[in-house]
Amino acid sequence: MRTFVSAVATVLGLLLAAVAVPAVWVDRTIVQEDGFVRLAAPLGKDSEFQKKLASAAVGTIDTGAVPGFLSGLVQPMLEKAAESLAGLPGYPAAWEETLRRSHRLSFPEQGAESTGGAGASTLTLDVAPLVVLGSGEISRATGLPLDPPAQTLINVGQPAQRQWAEQLATYAPMGYILALGSGIAFLLALVAARRRGTVLLAAGAGALALAALWAFGAQLGAARALAADTGNAVANMFRDEFVAAAAADFQAWTAAAAVSGGVLVVVGIVTLFARRMRPRARR
């Protein structure tokens, strides 16, 4: 009976862990604002992405209030602002604020009260902080009044992907409960086991198998995300860079799981070997 309980608990622990680890990663890295910003912040340092993002942001600046006879002066300033935007001292802060606003649009439960403006029906980037930065630079250089909008949205996904984001926000936090259940199941397996080395060995082998499964699933998910064309060059570049960053970050989790599994396998083998040698030593 003890062996049966231990086996069932070990299998249950592995099944719970199979769902818990990806769910916790999604919650910490995608659903939580700070995790999303940490993952996406380096994207703003890519020179090619900076140029396209700056051009897109500056291109949305409304120059309707500028007198017609000055329009010839404004256009060169817009082009210059687009080229120099990433080099301005306020660019890092504006890019981080862009990410935070964009995250709140995709996950309104996290900060709907502080976002302001209209909601979004698709995954979007709100580049208004970059527009404000560019408008301020142009105003200082020309003395012309420019009134940047409260929101400047660039679609980076489809409505269906927006629905996925809402589902992630709902279900991903449950990963912590599943992780707790997995830990309790493994503890029960160890307590009930006649040979704890067998439980450790099985848990380690299961962790190695799960690491391989997670790596394969991450590749499929990344391929599917990259296959969805947004119809916007800036959005496509953001998608490509973000998916690559997310895949690399999750790969670190799968590697940690594989190392942990290897350690458990070694400990399990050593424990079983020591158990077999013990009666001989008594003789």
**Res 189: pLDDT:** 94
Q: Does residue 212 lie within any of the structural domains?
A: yes
**Res 74: pLDDT:** 57
**Res 151: pLDDT:** 82
Query: What is the phi/psi pair of residue 184, to 5°?
Result: -65, -40
DSSP letter for 109, please. Answer: G
**Residues of the chain falling short of pLDDT 50:** 69, 110-119, 281-283
First to last CA, the chain: 30
**Res 111: pLDDT:** 44
**Res 108: pLDDT:** 65
Whether residue 272 sits in one domain with residue 242: yes
d(CA 208, CA 225): 26
Q: Residue 76: which residues within 8 A CB-CB, separation 6 or more? A: none
Last residue of a domain, one of 139, 162, 185: 162
**Res 114: pLDDT:** 42
Whether residue 253 sits in one domain with residue 229: yes
Domain limits for position 268: 2-30+172-282
The predicted-structure confidence for 182-213, as pLDDT tens digits, reads as follows 999 999 999 998 888 899 999 999 999 999 99
**Res 76: pLDDT:** 66
Whether residue 144 sits in one domain with residue 176: no
**Res 204: pLDDT:** 95
Q: What DSSP assignment string belongs to 73-88?
A: HHHHHHHHHHHHGGGS
Q: HSE (CB half, 13 Å, CA atoms) of 190?
A: 13
Q: Does residue 36 lie within any of the structural domains?
A: no
Last residue of a domain, one of 136, 162, 188: 162
Question: For the whole model, what pTM was predicted?
Answer: 0.82
Query: What is the phi/psi pair of residue 261, to 5°?
Result: -65, -40
Amino acid at 12: L
Q: Three-state SS string across the chain, please? A: CHHHHHHHHHHHHHHHHHHHHHHHHHHHHHHCHHHHHHHHHHHHHCHHHHHHHHHHHHCCCCCCCCCHHHHHHHHHHHHHHHHHHHHCCCHHHHHHHHHHHHHHHHCHHHCHHHHCCCCCCCCEEECHHHHHHHHHHHHHHHCCCCCCCCCCEEECCCHHHHHHHHHHHHHHHHHHHHHHHHHHHHHHHHHHCCCHHHHHHHHHHHHHHHHHHHHHHHHHHHHHHHHCCCCCHHHHHHHHHHHHHHHHHHHHHHHHHHHHHHHHHHHHHHHHHHHHHHHHHHC
Q: Does residue 224 lie within any of the structural domains?
A: yes
Whether residue 151 sits in one domain with residue 208: no
User: What sign does the CA torsion over 221, 222, 224, 225 have?
Assistant: positive
Whether residue 184 sits in one domain with residue 76: no
Evaluate whether 34 touches 114 at the Cβ level (below 8 Å).
no
Last residue of a domain, one of 162, 186, 202: 162
